[in-house]
Structure 1
Amino acid sequence: MKKSALQYKKTFLIYLEKVRGYSDLTLKTYDEAITEALDSIEIEEKPTTTLFNLMPYRIKIASLKQKTIAKKLSAIRSFTEYLNTQGEHITLKADDSIKVAKTLPKPIPHEHIMEALEKADKEERLAVTMLYTLGLRISELAGLKVADIDTDWIRVVGKGNKQRDIPLLGTTGKLLREYLDEMRPKKYLFEKNSRKLSENSLRYIITKVFKRVALKVTPHQLRHSYATVLLNNNARIADVSELLGHSSMATTQIYTKLGSALKMQNYNKAHPLCKEIDDTF
């Protein structure tokens, strides 16, 4: 099994690069984590599954920082999920999560998004705009049905099949109407050969659009950008939480921390006394 897992690793890394749009640095991290894990883990063949015991590997990397350990384990989990999609039956043992402090989301500046949109075709422009002006998850965008689009609102089915209504900006509505008139999708907004476009296909579209302007951008970063723009322009946190489909406002509050961090950064750049202090050191 270890030999076949190493062979699968090559196709897995290609998938991460071509479909998921992962950066070279992330690919290197995944490659190293999987290789060193396969050298350390105990593999036990059972009648219905192959057991990957991660304990020897966890002991090996125990001295590393928690965030580094969490990233390595995340890479192993993703690889295991991939193996299962390829027809292997893998079960992980000693797979307890590592708790790490939450980092602030990384929104994309508005000007960079507009620059990318200028180089996008009609389908690409609509996908990026929907994520940026509606704050959708990629799964929600993939599952968006034509029947759920109204003149001024769209109905979105989010996590746990919870529905929420999100207002359409005039510019987004115009793009939508033009796209619908030209493409005539039957059931889902984004289709190929009358079938729903997959989440991975939509991720690839977003990756491709921003790659043209030399940026690595994920669909979720556009959702972060949507939330950050609203809160930085004094939208109520309760409203933003509802628009994002968060089950708790505590999840939305991370964006208020981001806004505070940006305000402090801008203050330090703008205040003359801060500049004088910087010049003295």
Structure 2
Amino acid sequence: MKQSLDHYRKAFLIYLDKFRGYSDLTLKSYDESLKEAFSFLEVEEQGSHTTFNLMPYRLHIAHLKAKTISKKVSAMRSFCSYLNDQGEKVSLKADESIKVPASLPKPINDTHIQEALSQAPLNEKLVVILLYTLGLRISELVSLELKEISSKWVRVTGKGQKSRDIPLLSSTHALMQAYIDEMRPRRFLFESEQGQLSENSLRYLVTKCFKRIGLKVTPHQLRHSYATALLNNNARIADVSELLGHASMATTQIYTKLGSSLKMQNYLKAHPLCQDDDENS
């Protein structure tokens, strides 16, 4: 490889911070996992191609919980993906996934979203609003074409090239129209002079928007917030599943678990007997 692994590790962490908006705790976890993995990797080079054999590392961490192993291997997988994006030819061996229980998503409080929006310029505001009011994946937002937008609906092409129609709030449509009038995109909603904006460009706008109020928020958290808000306000799970573009309602059901968890937390805080119980414990 042209540069040392430590050089790329540092550059990778900067990328995760600036463009992906990862929290300080997550960055620290990635850094520790990569440093640890580098101590055990078997590096095989054939011409310009490099292969990292994770087997010695997997044996070293085999005693850990499945979820912990999955996170550590995922860090290496993301690192190698980054290297390939930088023009290095890299592949992994022994990086097979470990099945772990699904974790609950972390939605953003609507108050925080509104506070961030109140300070945001037009382009940041529109990206956040579309993710929050349409529940889009970042890949879907990048690919959104002008021809798929009407005054009341947006047609989105999701995973497996499946299309779905999502209701568009009148306020969101007005904001979108103001952006179109100002930016004059030709085909895609989000464009530059060089063409369609990248996913990283939109992620960066979300990061900037929430950084002003001291939060690190990802586009996917806004999608979580959309789904959670609908279910907490008694939307049918079948409808939410369709709006999100989930292939199965089983995927959507994780949000119902989150709703139950929040209800329990609110109950424990609000009910007087629960408060008495906390004081006596």
Taking structure 1 as the reference length, what is the TM-score of the superposition?
A: 0.96
1:110 deviates by 0.7
What whole-Å deviation, never above 9, does each CA across 1:100-148 have from its counterpart, x for those lacking one?
2111110001111001000100111111000000000001111111111
1:80 deviates by 0.7
Unaligned runs of 5+ in 1: none
- The within-5 A match list for 1:1-281 is 1=1, 4-46=4-46, 49-193=49-193, 195-281=195-281
Moved more, 199-208 or 47-56: 47-56
What whole-Å deviation, never above 9, does each CA across 1:196-231 have from its counterpart, x for those lacking one?
111001001001101111111100000000001111
Q: Give the distance between the partners of 2:270 and 2:50, measured in 1 at CA.
A: 59
1:84 deviates by 1.4
Would you say the 8 A contact 2:148–2:156 is kept in 1? yes
User: Share of identical aligned residues, percent?
Assistant: 66
1:79–1:88 CA distance, 2 compared to 1 (3 A)? same
Q: Give the distance between the partners of 1:133 and 1:190, measured in 2 at CA.
A: 17
Q: Give the distance between the partners of 1:275 and 1:4, measured in 2 at CA.
A: 56
1:44 deviates by 1.6
1:11 deviates by 1.5
Q: Give the distance between the partners of 1:221 and 1:14, measured in 2 at CA.
A: 21
> What RMSD, in angstroms, separates the aligned Cα atoms of the two structures?
1.5
Aligned residue for 2:155, secondary structure, equals: strand
1:2 deviates by 9.8
Would you say the 8 A contact 2:155–2:163 is kept in 1? yes
Q: Give the distance between the partners of 1:97 and 1:241, measured in 2 at CA.
A: 26
1:188–1:30 CA distance, 2 compared to 1 (3 A)? same
Q: Give the distance between the partners of 1:170 and 1:52, measured in 2 at CA.
A: 51
1:193–1:2 CA distance, 2 compared to 1 (3 A)? closer
Would you say the 8 A contact 1:19–1:203 is kept in 2? yes
What whole-Å deviation, never above 9, does each CA across 1:46-103 have from its counterpart, x for those lacking one?
3573221101111112222322221111110011111112222222111111222111
AA aligned opposite 1:230: L
Q: Give the distance between the partners of 1:32 and 1:20, measured in 2 at CA.
A: 18
Would you say the 8 A contact 2:151–2:170 is kept in 1? no
Moved more, 150-159 or 181-190: 181-190
Moved more, 135-144 or 264-273: 264-273
Moved more, 134-143 or 8-17: 8-17
Moved more, 191-200 or 147-156: 191-200
Would you say the 8 A contact 1:185–1:194 is kept in 2? no
Alignment size in residue pairs: 281
Aligned residue for 2:33, secondary structure, equals: helix
Would you say the 8 A contact 1:107–1:222 is kept in 2? yes
